[in-house]
Each structure stands twice: as structure tokens, then as C-alpha cells.
Amino acid sequence: SDEADILEMKDARYLMHPFTDARANLQGGGMVIDRGEGVFVYDSAGKKYLEAVAGLWSVGLGFSERRLIDAAVRQMEKLPYYHTFTGKSHAPQIELAARLVEMAPVPMSKAFFTNSGSEANDTAIKMIWYRSNALGETKRKKIISRKRGYHGITIASASLTGIPVDHQSFDLPLPGFLHVTAPHYYREGLEGESGDAFSTRLVNEIEALIVAEGPETIAAFFAEPVMGAGGVIVPPQGYWEKLQPVLKKYGIILVADEVICGFGRTGRMFGSQTFDIRPDMMILSKQLSSSYLPISAILMNDMVFEPIADESHAIGAFAHGFTNGGNPTAAAVAIEVLNIMEERDLMTHVSDVSVHFQARLRALGASSTLVGEARGVGLIGALELVMDKATRSSSLEVGQLAKYAFGLLQNKGVIARAMGDTLAFSPPLIITREQVDMIFDGVADVLAQMEQEISS
Ligand code: PLP
């Protein structure tokens, strides 16, 4: 339509996009998404797509949840904005803090609010550094995270991020940010090594790094329970179990970045529950508000909070906070998300539907010659594409296979996500069994087409 053409021209003329080849966008061609309904979105030409990644792994309740809109309007009418700096507070932020602390899978003490996953991770780093200073452990500032981990894009959170492409162009990571091997058994496991032996080797690598750097210099370990943007990496048997005592031994704070895993993605409310992780801090965002408004939170236990609060060590106020951190309207929406999840017993739905989701995903792994590994847990999954299953390699440039599959799939009305040669899926949590079939029927067709094109 004319309207769609004009939008596309204005996009090319005026808009710079995140994570996008800026020069290529000057030619236009971006898909303009116009409206959403349940698990579906519609582009400006009216074509319907099943959003199989829930936007950016985040729209847990789908694209048309009336109750979230109503909650936002009610709060905006009453008090659209206030802050919680220096002696002020407001009900939505207080209530949300109480809900999150009470529902945390391990004892947590306090919640602090920010606007994005990146801001929350940056804030956690500042809390950790502040705490080390308050304790007089001024050398304890280094942070360990993992290659292929994704923790955001601000300067400190990007330094946590271990996807190399994020670093080169920005002169990152900052000094003191260390990266260890990703727990990806399929790619990193040695010939003949069991998953459990692989976990032991990785944890030994982490301990060796801690010892080499000096344990008194290591402040924290940041990790996603399941890596999302790094390619949906589910850690093998024993990884979390062996890792946690090592961190404890050296007094290292464990931060679970639950930005993707949180609020049901892995089949339990938190990824920390699915993998029996006992973090000292949790980073929450995305599905917390179903992405209807920006909000994120840091939960911390007393081990983290007490030194920050301790008057005898006080360096002054914890001088950190954002104008819109925990904005009342965003907090009201988040509270309504939690109400809806509870009232509709969404976790039971996720456990039920994810059995089918994982079965269909894994069936493709077995049946398609192009799938090297099918992996996932709960309602997150991925297919790693290869040209040759035996050598686990692609003779093409890395990313070409998944990019091609992604395009074909999108033409069929399913939006997935391509990361390297991995195709990822994390649909809205409200997805039905029939809609799961729509995704994987589409993927099966695409893989069959590609197999045929390759063999001919
Ligand atoms: N942490 C994880 C695990 C994420 O997946 C993301 C974003 O995808 C972030 C942090 C950063 O969140 P944001 O994009 O809101 O800054």
C-alpha cells in the first residue's frame, strides 16, 4: 500500500536501527510491524506472523493482553510518574518489590528497580563494587562471565557479554572482566568426554582462573541459567552443581541473569529453579512486564545488601538510580503480569505445552539432515544447522544456513531468530499446542526444502 511504502521510505531516511547494518537500512526493506493479537503480529501489508520468539524473548503474555493495558491506564490516571529517590516512595514499586522478594526461589532481601536488562546488570556491578569497597576489600572488583553469554550493551554489561562480535568495534571489554568457556557440550565437549566430565573440566577451568587471578580480586560470577542470545545453550548435567561450591569457597557473588529465563521461560518460574541455582543476586526484566513497558529489577540477598547498608562502612548514600527506574505505570503493569500468571496458573500451562514444544523440536533434530543439535528446555529451544552432521560443520560462511532458513520461515508466516547457524524459538508463554504445531510444521517444510535444494 502507499502508506506502507511511505513508512518504509521514512524508515530508510530517518531511523537508525539497533543491531542492524546501518548502510543496508538506507535502502529500506525493514518489515514494519503494525499490530499484534495473541501470539501473532501483522505487518503493514496485513500479513500475519506467528511471533515464535515473543518479540525479543519477552512478550510472555502475547500482544493483546487487555488487562495490562487497563492496569497501565488505571495507574496513569492516578499517578503516572513518581520516583523513589531520597525519602519518597510509591505503592506500585513497594508492592512489586514485595512480590518479587517473596516469590524469589532463594531468600532475597531487597529489590532495586531499573529500566532494562543492561541497566540492571550495570547496577548490579556497581552494587558489587560498592560492597567490596564498603567491606574494605578494595581489590575485589573483577567479574567472571562466560563466552557466548549475553548480558546487555551498556559499557559494563557489554563487558559481561561474551559474544565477541559485540566487543571488537567498541574496544571492550573493560579491564577486569574475564570470560570462561561456554557450557556448550555439542561444540566444546572433547571426543569421548561425557557431559558430566565436560562440566568438571569447565568448573576446573573456572577455579584455575580464580586462583591464577587471585581469589581476593574476584568479586562476582554472572551467568544466565540458560544462555539465550548466545544460541540457547542449556548447560549439561552437573555444571551448576559443581560450579556453585567453587564460587562459595572463594566468597564470590553469584548473579543469575534471569532476563530471558525469568517468569516461566524454562518451565519453572525462574531458571534458577529449573537448574537448582542458589544465586545471591537475580536480574529480572523482559517477561516481568511482558515488554509492555520498560522495567527491570535486581534482587539481592543480605550478604550483598547488608554491607551496602552498613552505616559503619558507609561511603555515603548508595548514589545510583534512574529517573524512571521502577516507574509506577511500568510497575503496575508488572504486578498485573504476576497476577495474571497466578490466576491463570500459567506455569501449569507452560509445563504442559512445553512437553509438546520440546518433542517437536527434538523430532526435527532426529529427522532432518541439516540439524546438528536440537536443544532447549521449557518454552525455549534451538536448532543448530550444519551441512554435515558427522563433522558438525557448514561448508558455507557461518550464519548463512540459519539466515536462509529464517527468511524462508518468515515468508511462511513464522518469525524465529537466527544467531550464527542457530535458529531459536521462545514463543509467548500463552502459546497453544496447535500454535506450536504451526511453528514446527513451518520449520519442517523449510528444512525439507533446503535439503532438496542442497541435494539438487
Ligand atoms: N541479559 C540477558 C540474559 C538478555 O537476554 C538481555 C537482552 O536480551 C539483557 C540482559 C539486556 O537487556 P536489555 O536489552 O533490556 O538491556
ipTM of the complex: 0.99
Residues 41 and 165 in one domain: no
Region 351-362: what's the mean pLDDT? 98
8-state DSSP, 317: S
Phi-psi region of 57 (alpha: psi -120 to 50; beta: other; left: phi over 0): left
If asked whether residues 179 and 308 sit together in one domain, one would say: yes
pTM for this model (two decimals): 0.97
Residue 207 has pLDDT above 90, yes or no: yes
End position of a domain, from candidates 304, 319, 343: 343
* Relative orientation angle of helices 91-103 and 328-343, to the nearest 10 degrees: 40
374 falls within a domain:
yes
Residue 171 domain flag: yes
Instruction: Give CA–CA dist 174/126, Å, rounded.
Output: 14
The verdict on residue 187 lying in a domain is yes
CATH number, domain containing residue 451: 3.90.1150.10
C-alpha cell at 132: 567490596
**308, 324, 343 - which closes a domain:** 343
CB of 150 within 6 A of ligand 1: the answer is yes
Same domain? 127 vs 192 = yes
| Confidence at 315, pLDDT banded by 50, 70, 90 | low
Q: What is the largest CA-CA distance in the chain?
A: 75
Per-residue pLDDT, averaged over 311-340, amounts to 90
pLDDT at 456 over 90: no
For residues 325 and 114, the answer to whether their CB atoms sit within 8 Å is yes
The residue contributing the CA closest to ligand 1 atom 5 is 260
Quick check: is 26 in a domain? no
Kindly indicate the confidence band of residue 28, based on its pLDDT and cuts at 50, 70 and 90. confident
229-249 mean pLDDT? 97
116 lines ligand 1 (CB under 6 A): yes
Average pLDDT, the chain: 95
Is pLDDT of 425 > 80? yes
- Residue 218's alpha-carbon distances to 161, 210, 247, 252, 429, in angstroms, are 17, 7, 10, 7, 37
> Is the residue at 3 inside a domain?
no
Give the contacts of 167 (CB within 8 A, at least 6 positions apart).
158, 161, 173
CA distance 120 to 285: 8
Distance 116 CA to ligand 1 centre (A): 7
Residue 267 Rama label (left phi>0; alpha psi -120 to 50; beta): left
Q: Classify 321 in phi/psi space as left (phi over 0), alpha (psi -120 to 50) or beta.
A: left
- Percent of the chain past pLDDT 90, that is, above it, reads 87
Residues 244 and 332 grouped into a single domain = yes
Q: How do residues 367-383 score in pLDDT, each as one tens digit?
A: 999 999 999 999 999 99
At residue 240, does pLDDT exceed 70? yes
Does a structural domain hold residue 15?
A: no
Are 282 and 272 within 8 A, CB to CB?
yes
Judgement on whether residues 444 and 322 belong to the same structural domain of the protein: no
Write the CA distances from 182 to 110, 149, 163, 234, integer angstroms: 30, 8, 10, 10
Indicate if ligand 1 lies below 6 Å from the C-beta of 229.
yes
Cβ atoms of 11 and 20 within 8 Å: the answer is no
Range of the domain at 418: 31-64+345-455
Query: Which CATH number characterizes residue 139's domain?
Result: 3.40.640.10
pLDDT at 286 over 80: yes
Residue 260 near ligand 1, beta carbon < 6 Å: yes
Q: Does 216 lie in the same domain as 81?
A: yes
| CA atoms of 26 and 11, how far apart (whole Å) | 8
Query: How far is it, in rounded angstroms, from Cα 110 to Cα 345?
Result: 26
Same domain, 305 and 367: no
262 and 305 assigned to the same domain: yes
Are 334 and 284 spatial neighbours (Cβ–Cβ below 8 Å)? no
- pLDDT per residue over 248-277, tens digit each? 999 999 999 999 999 999 999 999 999 999
Does 400 share its domain with 320? no
Verify that 81 and 60 share a domain, yes or no: no
Kindly indicate the confidence band of residue 313, based on its pLDDT and cuts at 50, 70 and 90.
low
pLDDT score recorded for residue 404? 96
Would the pLDDT of 314 be above 70? no
Q: How far apart are CA 31 and CA 85, in angstroms?
A: 40
CA of 389 to the centre of ligand 1 (A): 32
How many domains in the chain? 2
Task: Give the range among 115-119, 153-157, 392-396, 445-449 with minimum mean pLDDT.
Answer: 392-396
| Closest atom of ligand 1 relative to the 119 alpha carbon | 16
303 and 441 fall within a common domain: no
How many residues are given for the chain?
A: 456
Most informative mutation of 113, 114, 118 for ligand 1 (most atoms within 8 A of CB): 118
Which residue would you say has higher pLDDT here, 51 or 396?
51
331's grid cell = 510497575
pLDDT higher than 90, residue 27:
no
In the predicted structure, residue 211 carries a pLDDT above the cut 80 = yes
Compute, in angstroms, the gap from residue 315 CA to the centroid of ligand 1.
30
**343, 377, 410 - which closes a domain:** 343
pLDDT at 48 over 90: yes
Would residue 25 count as lying in a domain? no
Q: In this structure, are 234 and 136 located in the same domain?
A: yes
Is residue 10 a part of any domain in this protein? no
What average pLDDT does range 85-113 have in this prediction?
Answer: 97
